[in-house]
Every structure is written in structure tokens, then in C-alpha cells.
Structure 1
Amino acid sequence: MPKGPVFGWAALRHLPAPTLPSVEDLPQLRFTTSGRAAIYQALQLLKLPAGSAVLLPTYHCPTMVAPVLMLGLRPVYFGLNAEGLPDLAGISHDEATEAGAMLVSHYFGLPRSLAAVRDWCDQQGIALIEDCAHSYFGQAGERPIGRWGDYATASVSKFFPVPEAGVLASATRPLPDSALRPQGAKAQLKAWVDVLEIGTRHGRLAGLQALLAIFFRLKSGPVSRRVAPAPAAGTSAEDLMLGCDMGRIAAKPLALSMLLREHLPRDRIIALRQRNFALYEQMLGEHNAMRDFAAQGIADCAPYVYPFWVEDADRVYHALRERGLPVFRWDRLWPGTPKLPQDHGRRWSHHLLQLLCHQDLDDNDIQQTARQLLSLLQPPQEQPQQESSPP
């Protein structure tokens, strides 16, 4: 199953969908190679003194921490409440006084109001970076997505079938022209090849499928139909920084990424993500300890994943990954992330699975993933003998 959006003829179609605000609607806009590059550039524009504290959530992807360290700043972590919002009362006076910026995320593509966070940042004199990596489209309570922060950052590649791209935006602050370096002809050509190869692999280019399949077979040689699981990634600070690929933060996004982002319909992205999320909720909701969080309504957003709580998380997660199902979790916390009282973030990093619901998964993909997950929720001795076979 595709782990992200796939380019094919279907990506050009329109579907009935609600009109939602987007990060792209903000008056100040700059495109980057990735969401992490956008975070880096937002922090760079703040011109914080070296060693300044940046408040980060305990529940994070390593790419949220790497830009802070790259700029010689100091991550200080805050806990989350059950809504995935900062536990503001848990941030000490000293931490607030030392902080120059705070990064707050809209998790899972289910945006929340940041009114209380915005007020707190204003009172403390702290710049707010609104992380919309999971929420390219949507209404965040009283404001459209991206309009709570001094800066907003987002990931184009999580929502569009592009090889890379991120967004730095602002509703209130100017974004001066940056000296991002253009990428060369080889990188631009490789982007076309990669997009077509992924589309061919997933059968999305009818009419060209056979011809392209021959070309890519000759290019790559024989490939096993079953892809072996990737080796476990390291969790040291050095390994995490290497995995974040921070060497490309000063490059312009690829031309193909900008072309597809500009011309592909948004309505299909929104409609199918809402449909897939709703199907997960229909099949899994009664088994999900995160149901109250997940079921607060998706009419005003385009979900990124369906969050699902699992007690026996290690066994279930690794079994799902071995079967090639579209699921992941944020279990690679940056070294030094503290265990804070009443923090939901650290518990989420272990127990919370993120089931992808992007527009290029169909009903069968969602149903198969849900059924496999349900089968694994049984105690091991009660599971079917041939659990790896599709139901």
C-alpha cells in the first residue's frame, strides 16, 4: 500500500468536497524543500541569541528538534494535555522567561484552537510557530489554520504527490526574499523519474503503465514483490540528526513539486481523506481509547492520520509494519526528552499508532488495515494461525 500520496490520472480529478482554508491562503508565503526547512527558516527570521531556549512538545518527530539544534538554540520540552495542546501550567517561570519561541503542532490533521496558547505567548513575549505539518487544510477553532502563529510551517509532500516541498507562511510578519539555491538539472530530472516510477509501481498511470513498467524494470533490475523491512534506525542524537537530512534546508523546492502543487485539485485530497478517516472510525472507533479525540469532527479539516491507542503497542506496531501496512508512530524521541508529570505526549509516543488516511488509499486498503489491526488486538494465543494473509 502506498505510504504517501501517489501521482496518477486520478490525482487530476475533482470530487465534491467542502471548501477549507489552507496554509497557502496566508498573505506571506515562502516554499521550502520540507517542513523542517520551514521551521529552520522561521527560527532564523526570529534572530534569537545563541543558546536561547525554544519550547518544543514532548511528543515530536525528530525533524522538529533538528532545526533548533542546527541554529545553536536549546530545546526545552513541554508536556501535552489530553487534547494534544501544551500544558501551559507545567511550564516553569524560568523556562518561559528564557524562551524566545514555542513550536505548537496540530496533531494528526485534527486542528485545535490555539487561543489560550496565543494569549500565553503574548503575555510571555514568546514567538509562536504554528506547526501545520499534519494540517495543510482546515479551521483551527476560531481561526483558519496557520493564523494563530507568528509563523506557520507545513509539509506539501504529506498532502500532494510531490517528491518534496514545505511551506513557511505568516499572517502578520513579512517574509523577506531568501537566497535559496536552485537545484540542478539532474535533481529536477530525477524528480520526474521518481514520481512516475512510484505511480507506475502502484498502477496509477493506465495507458502508459506497461511501457513505463518495462523502462523502470530495465532501470532497476528485478525487484522482489515483498519489500524487506528497513533496518531499525538509531536513536542517538547523531543518528537522529543524520536521518533528518538537514543538508538541504537552503535549497529551493523542485520545480515539479511546485507544478503539481499549483495545478492538482484540492477537493479530491480533502474529500478522500475525510472518507478514509470516517471509514477507520466506523471500523475501529469502539476499540479506540483515543475515540473522543479522533471523533470531534472532520468536516472542517483534511485529516493526515487516524490516531489509535494500543496497550500492547510494540507487538502490534511491529507486526503491522512487517505486513507493509500504512502505519507509523513517533517513538524516536530526541535524547533528553523529559518524563513530565501528567504528560500525555510521552505516553502517545509509545502507545499511539498513526494510521495513514491519505487520498491514494482506497476502501479496501483501509478495511484491510483495520481488520489486521483488530486481529492483532486479540491476545497472541487467540490470533488466527495465518494472520499475515489478507482477510
Structure 2
Amino acid sequence: MSARGAAASPLAAAAGAPPLRIRRFNPEGFGFPRPAVPVRPWLRTDQLRRSAQAPGQALADAGRVVLPFAMGRYALQAALRASGVGPGTRVLAPAYHCRSMIDGALALGAEVAFYRVTPSLGVDLDHLQQLAAQRGRPVRAVIAAHSFGFGQSLQALLAWCAAQDVRLVEDCSHVLMHPAVPTGLGLAGDFGIASPNKFFPVEDGGLLWHQPQLAVQPADRSPSPLAELRGAWRTLQRARQGQAPAMPAAAPAALGHRPAATDALAAGDSESVCATPSDHFDEALARSRGQAGARWLAAHVDAPAMAAQRRRRYQQWLQAARQWPEVEALYPALPDAVVPYMVPLFLRSRVAERFEALKYARVPVGRWDDMAVSDCPVAGRYRLSLVHLPCHQAIDDTQMDWLLQAATHAMARLG
């Protein structure tokens, strides 16, 4: 392997990485109830099929080398390592991000710099070029994401990376990678990564693919039989929760009341300095192939039916959100090839109240409120204002009707 692709010492080197300011919303003290339905899809036997198709088969057919990992974050770390990322180097990442996107770079001891994103979460190439031109650690990789499953044009970025001898890592963790549902995404970069567990009813799963001329250290450890059993048990437990949801007996009109203010409620946001990965990063799993049972299950899910159902749920949320005051869809149109991961909605005013109203109404709403601080105005605004609603295939019609009523009432009460 060349010096560019040499492996760095993982967490031992992380202490040398420049610290990041992390801003985080702490939900403790708010008393948010359990969501009415799980935010991630659960196993439904009526959505399985006898014939098997591996999620990464289309990538292999397109000439990429496809490798399994335990999670997308560890696949991303492997891609960065193969790009030459390590102590004394830099990675450029989007300013609007979830923490798992930067964990791998921090684990490798690299500096992470954040380029600004456009309102549609595309790459601000001018700002990226400014960051790369700054003196200091050499840039070894750029991470570009197709957020929420909506593809971004990467041709200009790809040309820039080629001219600068910088590796492009295409983050497709929000993209359904399946041969039966072509999206046209994932083949632009030197490397690509995906998180099948975001779409399939499995407890783990990550994919890394790369151009055949590049050298990558594959995950070479298999989970123990006990880990396989635990994964199967958690899959069944989540299926039980989905089939017996926590939807209250009361009508949605009786929900959404905020408890009395406390110091914990007032605090909410906090800031810290960190140069190491988040608590969700487990170095012991970085070289694991992931669970064989999860790969088998993902290969037997009816992917075309899943895609159609996700698109249907997305459209239902869009139709309802058009009636909500001061709420705007980030992507108000759903192109034919898009299989949405979540439904991103922008809260234009009374952000804290609207977010909390959804939470207290037991709507499974989330957002990326645990994020590194940057000078990107879009990321600074979206961190709290852009909320994500689930549109996964396991939600049945009764559950969806309840969620739409609960969310509509919660938003209507705020005017």
C-alpha cells in the first residue's frame, strides 16, 4: 500500500486532532414521552420475499469493489484511512452533519474542517476551495452527502478533487442502495458508503465500495454467535414495538402539553470542546463485517415495495405540512428516482415550541442538534430548525393517520 493509503493508529492518534466546538441539545429534563411508533423500520413478514438480492449488488455490477462493515460510520472510517487520512492531515466535511459523519476522521487523528452548504444542502464549492487553500495540514479527502436520499450534483466537485489529488468520499448513508431500485447515486466518488440499517429492518449493516485500483483494508472480523443472537433479539423486540405501538388512547387533540418550565428546560443547549469521536463510535466494531443475519434479512426485503411505500408516506407528510403555519418542506418535490430516508421540514418561527409540541404529541420527530460549530449560516440555522419525520415502510395506514392528526393538531395550536 502507498504512503497515501497507510493505516493510521486509530484512537491513540485522536489526541493530536485539533479540538472541535460541539453544540448539543440535551433532552434530559424535558420529559418527552416515548414516540407513538419507532422512528426506524421494524420487521414485517408481509414485506419479505423468497428471492434474495443483496443491497450492494448493483455497485458490484458497475465495477466497484463492495465490502461489508458493521455500520456506515466504520465504512466511512475505512474509506478515509484508504485516502491517506491520519494525524497531520485534514478532511473537509459538510457543515450540516450528524456526528457519526466525522467520527471516523477524529478516530484517525485528523483535523476536520467544515465547508458551507447551500440551502438545499449542496456543496458550496467556493468555500471548499477557500478552506483547501489555507495553509496547514494537507487535505486528503472530501466527504459529500446525498442528504435524506435527494441527490446532489457532484461533477464540479469531482473535477476539483481530481485536480487537487484529493479523494472524494460519497456519503450515501441516506440512499437506498439496491439493484432493484436504481437511484443513479453512489458512482461519482473514489469511495462510497451506505447504511442499510437506515432502510432495512436490521440492527446493523454498513457498505463500503471503491474504485478497483484503490487499496482498502476490509473488515476481517465476524461477529460472535452471541452478537448474532443479540442482533436477532433486538430485531424481534423492535418488531413487537412497531406492531404494538405506543399510540395513546386519547385523541390527538388532548396531546401536546408542555410541562412547567424548569432549569433543565431552560438550559437545553450546551457547548463542549472535543477532539475524539462521539459516544456512538465503538472502535471494537471498526473491523467487523457486521451480522450475517442482518445481511440475509436485508437481501430478502421487497425493495421496490419499500421504495413505493416510502414515497407514498413522504407525499402524505408533504400534503399535511402544507397546512401547517410557518413550516416549509426542504424538498417540496419528490423526483421519480428518489427514495426518501426521512421528511425534512424547516420551522420558520417559534422553533423550540414547534419542536417540543411535536415531541409531546408523541410524533417521532428528530433533528441533528448534536453538531460541530462552524461559520456556515445554513448549518447554524438548520441545526435546530430543520426537523426530520419518518416515512419508512413499516408504518401502516392506521398509524400514519394517527401521526398526521397528531402533528397537524400540534402545529395548529401554535398558529
Provide the TM-score with structure 1 as the length reference: 0.79
- Report the counterpart of residue 276 of structure 1 in structure 2: 313
- Are the aligned partners of 1:162 and 1:257 in contact in 2 as well (CA < 8 Å)? yes
- Report the counterpart of residue 182 of structure 1 in structure 2: 222
Distance 1:40 1:201, change over 3 A: same
SS at match of 1:328: coil
SS at match of 1:241: coil
Distance 1:94 1:242, change over 3 A: closer
Displacement of 1:115? 1.5
Distance 1:350 1:203, change over 3 A: closer
- Report the counterpart of residue 367 of structure 2 in structure 1: 329
- Are the aligned partners of 2:84 and 2:140 in contact in 1 as well (CA < 8 Å)? no
Paired amino acid for 1:366:
M
The answer to which of 157-166 and 183-192 deviates more is 183-192
CA distance in 1, matches of 2:277, 2:406: 30
- Report the counterpart of residue 341 of structure 2 in structure 1: 304
- Are the aligned partners of 2:106 and 2:277 in contact in 1 as well (CA < 8 Å)? no
Tell whether 2:50 aligns with 1:10.
Answer: no
SS at match of 1:344: helix
- Report the counterpart of residue 377 of structure 1 in structure 2: 411
Aligned length: 343
Distance 1:123 1:367, change over 3 A: farther
> Structure 1 segments of 4 or more deviating over 4 A?
20-26, 171-177, 231-235, 286-290
- Are the aligned partners of 1:113 and 1:143 in contact in 2 as well (CA < 8 Å)? no
Match of 2:207 among 123, 142, 167: 167
Residue segments in structure 1 that go unaligned for 5+ positions in a row: 15-19, 205-230, 383-391
Match of 1:245 among 275, 282, 301: 282
Q: For 1:194-205, what aligned pairs fall within 5 Å after superposition?
A: 194-203=234-243
Tell me the alpha carbon deviations over residues 68-107 of structure 1, each in whole angstroms, 9 at most, x when there is no partner. 1100111000111122111111235452463111101111
Match of 1:148 among 183, 188, 197: 188
The answer to which of 28-37 and 360-369 deviates more is 360-369
- Report the counterpart of residue 356 of structure 1 in structure 2: 390
CA distance in 2, matches of 1:78, 1:47: 20
Tell whether 2:140 aligns with 1:130.
Answer: no
Displacement of 1:126? 1.6
Provide the TM-score with structure 2 as the length reference: 0.75
- Are the aligned partners of 2:361 and 2:406 in contact in 1 as well (CA < 8 Å)? no
- Are the aligned partners of 1:147 and 1:171 in contact in 2 as well (CA < 8 Å)? no
Residue segments in structure 2 that go unaligned for 5+ positions in a row: 1-36, 51-55, 245-264
Distance 1:250 1:235, change over 3 A: farther
Instruction: Decide which structure has greater helix share.
Output: 1
Displacement of 1:179? 4.9
Q: For 1:306-321, what aligned pairs fall within 5 Å after superposition?
A: 306-310=343-347, 311-321=349-359
Displacement of 1:49? 4.9
Tell whether 2:404 aligns with 1:366.
Answer: no
CA distance in 2, matches of 1:66, 1:87: 22
Tell whether 2:160 aligns with 1:120.
Answer: yes
- Are the aligned partners of 2:74 and 2:287 in contact in 1 as well (CA < 8 Å)? yes
CA distance in 2, matches of 1:106, 1:240: 22
Tell me the alpha carbon deviations over residues 231-276 of structure 1, each in whole angstroms, 9 at most, x when there is no partner. 9898643896113334311212011111112222211211111111
CA distance in 2, matches of 1:252, 1:240: 20
CA distance in 1, matches of 2:303, 2:237: 23
Distance 1:116 1:365, change over 3 A: farther
CA distance in 2, matches of 1:136, 1:150: 19
Tell me the alpha carbon deviations over residues 282-308 of structure 1, each in whole angstroms, 9 at most, x when there is no partner. 2213647644x4133331021001111
- Are the aligned partners of 1:129 and 1:150 in contact in 2 as well (CA < 8 Å)? yes
- Report the counterpart of residue 213 of structure 1 in structure 2: none
Displacement of 1:24? 6.4
Match of 1:346 among 377, 380, 394: 380
Paired amino acid for 2:399:
D
Q: CA RMSD, aligned part only?
A: 3.0
Tell me the alpha carbon deviations over residues 134-179 of structure 1, each in whole angstroms, 9 at most, x when there is no partner. 112499xx98211111101110100111110011012454455625
- Are the aligned partners of 1:276 and 1:357 in contact in 2 as well (CA < 8 Å)? yes
Q: For 1:25-174, what aligned pairs fall within 5 Å after superposition?
A: 26=62, 27-93=64-130, 95-96=132-133, 98-137=138-177, 144-171=184-211, 173-174=213-214
CA distance in 2, matches of 1:159, 1:131: 15
CA distance in 2, matches of 1:283, 1:276: 11
- Are the aligned partners of 2:86 and 2:108 in contact in 1 as well (CA < 8 Å)? no
Identity in percent: 24
CA distance in 2, matches of 1:367, 1:180: 45
The answer to which of 194-203 and 97-106 deviates more is 194-203
